[in-house]
Structure 1
Amino acid sequence: MSPDELYALLPAVHRRRDAEQGGPLRALLTVVADSAAAVRQDIERLYDNWFVETCEDWVVPYIGDLVGYEVLPWIATALSEDTVRAGGLPAAAVPRRDVADTVDHRRRKGTLALLEDLASGVAGWPARVVEYRHLLCLTQPVRRFTSDGATARRRTAHGGLVDVRGASALDRLGGPFDGAARTVEVARPDSPRRAGRYGVQSVGVYVWRLRAYSVTRAPAYCLDRDRACYAFNVLAVDTPLYTAPVPEPSRCHVADETNVPEPISRRALSERLYDLYGPGRSLCVWTGPDSVADVVPLARVVAADLTDWSYRPAPGQVAVDPVLGRLVLGPGTGPASEVRVSYHHAFSGDLGGGEYPRPAPEQPDRGALYRVGPGERHRSVADALDHWQAAKRGGPAGAEAVVEIISNEVYEEPAEIRLDPGDRLTLRAAQGVRPVLRLPRGRHGDRPQGLVINGTGSGRPGEAPTVCVLDGLLVAGGGIRVRGEVGRLVLRHCTLVPGWVLQAQGRPLAPGAPSLDIAGSPVSVEVRSSILGAVSVDPAGEANVLDVCDSVVDATDLEATALGAPDGGSAGVVLTARRSTVLGQVRVRGVELLENCLLAGEVRVDRRDRGSLRFCWLPEGSATPTRFHCEPDHSGSRAADLRFSATRYGAPAYVRLSDRCAAEIRRGGANGSEPGALHQLFQPQREDNLRIRLAEYTPAGCDTGLHFVT
């Protein structure tokens, strides 16, 4: 109820007396109305919290307790102590969907489809369940052969020898879709010494932890124009293509290769081309100008091995290598300069530039909106910035603008962003797209120019600070240089390619080169959910502030400096890092807080009388302020060595901890999750919860093993 509505309920005599005295009663009712609105909103929220579909995340465990849903003990303790501090833990460890389906799961206990649903509902991982008894070798009894040819073929195929001429079957050996017969293993799937798989009562649950991320109608990178050789990835690196999972047709369906994010093999592309190729499917190729581009017909696409580019397709054909993410156009297919592709690649989570949904910005849009892309007024970012600069002339100080890129294009500009005192500029990608800013080369072509963010202020006291926000972009070919008076720089869901440019096999062109170079500017830098290379900061003073959260800082070499000064000394910056991974050495003047971080290189902090480190991993011999529960100091175990599945940018398992990494590290976060940039995935909690649910819903006498495919 608004203040005016409350005021209208008062008798007329009181309203008249209040008007005569200057309206103190109306002012009081304004405060009362605000409190009443807060109470009403709380009452409505309490009603929503009665239902599992609409309740808040922290309420889900308590609703689960009403239906007998058992919460892991240490998770229940964390929630009871402080639900706010738990962060995203309730949604990951106590999924809403799993609580809602608890009663239904009990009715379906023992079915294969239920075990797959558990993996999806409890952990959010696609899964396939395999009954190993169907894969055991056996001797076919002669008396069971019948005149029914189909029945005879089915029985002879069960437990038969491997056909070495069946290439597709050989590709699936050892995986979740393996159909080859095996001898019985005595060890159980959950054995702590040696896990066995193939038993009469053994069931395997294969889960996929990597996710398939789409790139839609983006330019392919031309590697050789004369031979029409292309890379799917616009960064010109080999990228394995993955299947875009499709929903299973029914609850009783057991997942197949189209329902999981499986890497596409050459044989699979050849045999299941109709399922994988085409608009809206796992991959697609267009040729011709973008406005009138034609989809390459299904009949003209062939799978090929393009490892050495020796394969030449027939005229009119397009050869695709899904293992390497390469393609070659046959003679007469289309203009070699106009090729666009859609494909899916794999990664662990929403990090860096991508087409995944990004959260809304902290502040709503203000100022003019300049849209860049096909069909819009501005065809380039530089053109939009020029119009903004022209609109500022003669106007008041402190202009605001949003430049939004609406398509997956490659923009080889701008070279400089000029910010006057009080300006606020947001350069972002629209939702669902991932544009690329490829920084142009210098005059001699030997060194990238870089993107310069130049503040023109004088630095006098009282001067309005400038703000620049980069959101959802992929920047390649160079780094970002901050010069002049820039008050605040924000990087949200961006990728500044480590090493500037990637060469063959993903090797960086300039190892250790800074993706972010700050000099002569006391700037506050905020990095959120981003991937960037080394950061170089002027060593003078401590006015610079760097706040890194849920991000990766990759110097491309553990011996290189990931954060430091250009001369190799300490950067003049006060560092705060939470839930981040740093590949390389850190040399800073001071730190405020390092929490839940993986610091793979030596850490040197000049001022060790302030700040602290909590729940981090850092090499022995590092010089830091006070540490609390950091490895390997806390456990004192030499086995607590840091191991990653991959440390090269572009790999599907980039910066993910290896499964062979010590438990002290994999569960070394403040809430039992892994430290580093993938902390928010809560994978240890998901795994624990899934193992408990599998044991709960597996029939007595059946042994269930959990296997991670990726």
Structure 2
Amino acid sequence: MSTVTTDTRTDRLYQLLPAIYRLRDAEQGYPLQALLRVIAEQVNLIEDDIGRLCDNAFIETAEDWAVPYIGDLIGYRPVADTAAEQESGALNRVLVPRREVANTIRYRRRKGALSLLEVLAGDVAGWPARAVEFFKLLGWHQNLDHRHMERARTCDLRNVEALELLDGPFDRLAHSVDVRRIDSARSRGRYNIPSVGVFVWRLKTYTVSHTPAYCMENAGPHCCTFSVLGQDAPLFTRPEPETEPTHIAEAINLPVPVRRLAFERDKALFYGENRSFAIWAEGWAGLDGSSPVPVEQIIAADLSDWRYAPPANHIALDPLLGRFAFPPGQLPKKGVRVAYRYGFSGDLGGGEYSRTLYDPPTLKAAAADSAQAVAPSFYRVGSGQAYARIGEALQQWTQDRPRRAVIELTDSGVYVEPVAIELAPEQSLQLRAANRARPVIRLLDWQTDLPDALSVGMAAGSRLTLDGLLVTGRAVRITGRAGDTASASGVESCGAEVVIRHCTLVPGWALDCDCEPKRPAEPSLELYGVRAKVRIEHSILGSVQINQDEVRSDPLPLEISDSILDATAPDKEAIGAPGYAVAHAVLNIKRSTVFGMVDVHAIGLAENCVFNDCVNVARRQLGCMRFCYVPPRCRTPRRYHCQPDLAVQAAQEDLAAGPARDAAVAGELLRLRPQFTSRRYGSPGYGQLAVSCAEEIKRGAEDESEMGAFHDLFQPQREANLRARLEEYSPAGMDVGLIFAT
């Protein structure tokens, strides 16, 4: 007699039968149960659909596709100049924000209030904001019957803080009248009676928790930086929530860099545990290291040249550069740890943000007659875990030799050790960070006669995943097994794969204090004879060098999405091959930004990308590039809706051949050149398209979002949505302008 497992939901109808019928059904091999399971499946679908209909009647529980319909019932007006309405997905959540639809009636009741403009920026675009009435900053003569002593202050050259805030969102000085409109599409003004400015911050703040500081030995053993890479990086505030809905945001409520004068005036507001930043120094000045250095022992200072020497038992701290210094004669006896916040555009590279972890699947036992399942093996490394170092976990993994394994780094520590991995055929290994952790693997010059990269040996059918790591000091070198002549199609069929997701392989290996790479000519990822599919997602990498046998093997499949590739200079290869004209690889790249040349065998598909420098492919007959920026005179496959092709074509059609058309084409090429807030990794605005960048780039993707690595932030749609709402809810007779603070 066969047995059938019981499932409460699928057997709900079967359980309603009298027991006598279930007994007889069991005697016949459960045919009635199988029939009722098919009927119950359809009943469950209908019941779930009815339940969703009830949920979709409320804005809090409605599905994404139903939010626009609820908005239509209350007269919510979507933005007119965005892409066509989407029925689901991330873009729909940007075009029709659920929170804005829910609060539409409340917004209408508060129309005209200045604080509402800040609320709109947060609800509509997800950007923190500060609203400023510029008529309060106009120079005027005080009226004895209507005095405003806090307004119209003339410039005092001795007031350093007021000068530091000049023309910013917290400006307090008086200005002369600017007759230009603040919402003008051309040249915008600010200081006029009807002008209201809404300053928005596009950069987010990310935490780094209890991680080792970096000792700047070239400046002195007492000099340290918060960043483990040693570069100057401003410390950002931990935004405090506003207590009242009518409150106008101050600096402590916004993700802004901490100023020196503000830190000096109120150090306890920024420094300490669960504050913006803190320092732990075990054994220094009699401290036990269980709590941060007391705020009374912290001195605000300008450490731009490292000349300031703090007195005994005190630490000098410069929040603008992310530096701090001990007294030269009182160095820390043990390690120094820090916690701080830095600014960046989105969830990219290694960082302490929430991301999805993918555990290897549970497999059946190797024996054909065994039904026992084999779960993946886990080796956890970190403080309080079974293994303190990566090498210890790798040694145990080598002894156990499980088919599926995960080595998880549970904290944001720095692991200074050589890492060498050898995978057996059909073996899988994940080396990953725990969720909301950012471990750093710092590779040094361990051997004088051999390279010291993070080395991985691949075999046929093996799988490697690097997830959530920051690797500095050397490259990641992945090598295929000698004699493995499987073709690329064979590799894909057997599942051999290399995945790098949410990782940072520091461009140029390491950084100077000004974010310049120390080894700009060195690659971050080296692939030697790898017979596997290589996939890179949501990562920041330096140069990728591919060394493949062009005669005995097919091109390496290389897929890149939502990432930044940085060769550190326009004349260096972002993707290439040492000693060869092109890398023997077929590239598929989506929503990525590339700094440096791309020299590959072929491009299968490139879409919504920014290729800042030259692209050269050997086989132009394969593949397609669509909705990308590609510099002129590049050897590429066929292009569709790419820039500057469209702009140049329009200029050539408008003018006849001659000097005028040549000048117009040259002007369009210069205007459409992508502009970035910063091109140096380590700075807060790295890879972010500048406000002055051409609209054809900022809205050049297929869904009218921006090209490049931050496509999925949908910032053009957010901006358009916010501008429409500001115009709708602005006070009567006022002109509201949107100003990007970052």
TM-score (norm 1): 0.92
- SS of residue matched to 1:90: helix
> Contact (CA 8 Å) 1:481, 1:517: kept in 2 or not?
yes
Aligned to 2:151: 158
Aligned to 1:438: 442
Q: Does 1:346 align with 2:343?
A: yes
Distance 2:309 2:137 in 1: 40
> Which residue of 213, 219, 224 corresponds with 1:230?
224
Q: Tell me the alpha carbon deviations over residues 661-683 of structure 1, each in whole angstroms, 9 at most, x when there is no partner.
A: 11111100111010110001111
The amino acid that maps onto 2:623 is G
The amino acid that maps onto 2:238 is A
> Which residue of 66, 70, 78 corresponds with 1:71?
78
Aligned to 1:151: none
Q: Does 1:330 align with 2:333?
A: no
> Contact (CA 8 Å) 1:439, 1:477: kept in 2 or not?
yes
Per-residue deviation, 1:609: 2.2
- SS of residue matched to 1:370: strand
Distance 1:206 1:629 in 2: 33
- SS of residue matched to 1:27: helix
Q: Tell me the alpha carbon deviations over residues 462-488 of structure 1, each in whole angstroms, 9 at most, x when there is no partner.
A: xxx211111111000111111125921
Distance 1:77 1:333 in 2: 64
Per-residue deviation, 1:24: 3.9
- SS of residue matched to 1:327: strand
**Distance change >3 Å, CA 442–CA 5, structure 1 → 2:** same
Per-residue deviation, 1:310: 0.8
> Contact (CA 8 Å) 2:83, 2:704: kept in 1 or not?
no
Q: Does 1:520 align with 2:529?
A: yes
Distance 2:279 2:321 in 1: 16
Q: Does 1:660 align with 2:687?
A: no
The amino acid that maps onto 1:322 is P
**Distance change >3 Å, CA 72–CA 17, structure 1 → 2:** same
Q: Does 1:41 align with 2:48?
A: yes
Aligned to 2:370: none
> Contact (CA 8 Å) 1:542, 1:574: kept in 2 or not?
no
Distance 2:15 2:153 in 1: 87
> Contact (CA 8 Å) 1:3, 1:26: kept in 2 or not?
no
> Contact (CA 8 Å) 2:201, 2:741: kept in 1 or not?
yes
Distance 1:693 1:332 in 2: 59
Distance 1:313 1:644 in 2: 38
Aligned to 1:150: none
Q: Does 1:451 align with 2:460?
A: no
Per-residue deviation, 1:19: 5.0
> Contact (CA 8 Å) 2:83, 2:703: kept in 1 or not?
no
Percent identity, please. 45
Distance 2:175 2:161 in 1: 18
> Which residue of 242, 262, 265 corresponds with 1:268?
262
- SS of residue matched to 2:387: coil
> Contact (CA 8 Å) 2:479, 2:528: kept in 1 or not?
yes
Q: Does 1:90 align with 2:84?
A: no
Q: Tell me the alpha carbon deviations over residues 354-405 of structure 1, each in whole angstroms, 9 at most, x when there is no partner.
A: 111112437668512211111212000110111122122xxxxx62121111
Aligned to 2:405: 401
> Contact (CA 8 Å) 1:439, 1:448: kept in 2 or not?
no
The amino acid that maps onto 2:562 is D
Per-residue deviation, 1:587: 1.2
Aligned to 1:372: 381
Aligned to 2:586: 574
Correspondence list, 1:547-562, <5 A: 547-562=559-574
- SS of residue matched to 2:589: strand
Q: Tell me the alpha carbon deviations over residues 449-505 of structure 1, each in whole angstroms, 9 at most, x when there is no partner.
A: 1111112x4x4xxxxx21111111100011111112592111111100011111231
> Contact (CA 8 Å) 2:614, 2:631: kept in 1 or not?
yes
Q: Which residues of structure 2 form unaligned runs of 5+?
A: 1-7, 363-374, 482-490, 649-667
> Contact (CA 8 Å) 1:435, 1:473: kept in 2 or not?
yes
- SS of residue matched to 2:269: helix
Q: Does 1:682 align with 2:685?
A: no
Aligned to 1:462: none
> Which residue of 627, 630, 639 corresponds with 1:615?
627
Aligned to 2:202: 209
Distance 2:564 2:615 in 1: 16
**Distance change >3 Å, CA 324–CA 16, structure 1 → 2:** closer
**Distance change >3 Å, CA 89–CA 364, structure 1 → 2:** farther
Q: Which residues of structure 1 form unaligned runs of 5+?
A: 146-153, 393-397, 460-464
- SS of residue matched to 2:216: strand
**In terms of mean alpha carbon deviation, does 158-167 or 652-661 score higher?**
158-167
- SS of residue matched to 1:91: helix
Instruction: Count the aligned residue pairs.
Output: 683
> Contact (CA 8 Å) 2:588, 2:606: kept in 1 or not?
yes
> Contact (CA 8 Å) 2:112, 2:732: kept in 1 or not?
no
Aligned to 2:520: 511
Q: Does 1:321 align with 2:353?
A: no
Q: Tell me the alpha carbon deviations over residues 49-89 of structure 1, each in whole angstroms, 9 at most, x when there is no partner.
A: 2221122223222211111111123547342xxx35xx411
> Contact (CA 8 Å) 1:512, 1:533: kept in 2 or not?
no
> Contact (CA 8 Å) 2:545, 2:583: kept in 1 or not?
yes
Q: Tell me the alpha carbon deviations over residues 212-238 of structure 1, each in whole angstroms, 9 at most, x when there is no partner.
A: 111111111011396411011000111
The amino acid that maps onto 1:256 is E
Distance 2:19 2:264 in 1: 84
> Contact (CA 8 Å) 1:545, 1:574: kept in 2 or not?
yes
Distance 1:484 1:185 in 2: 66
**In terms of mean alpha carbon deviation, does 53-62 or 692-701 score higher?**
53-62
Aligned to 1:697: 729
> Contact (CA 8 Å) 2:574, 2:594: kept in 1 or not?
yes
Correspondence list, 1:356-435, <5 A: 356-361=353-358, 366-392=375-401, 399-435=403-439
Let me know the Cα RMSD of the aligned residues: 2.2
**Distance change >3 Å, CA 448–CA 50, structure 1 → 2:** farther
> Contact (CA 8 Å) 1:448, 1:477: kept in 2 or not?
no
Distance 1:505 1:77 in 2: 43
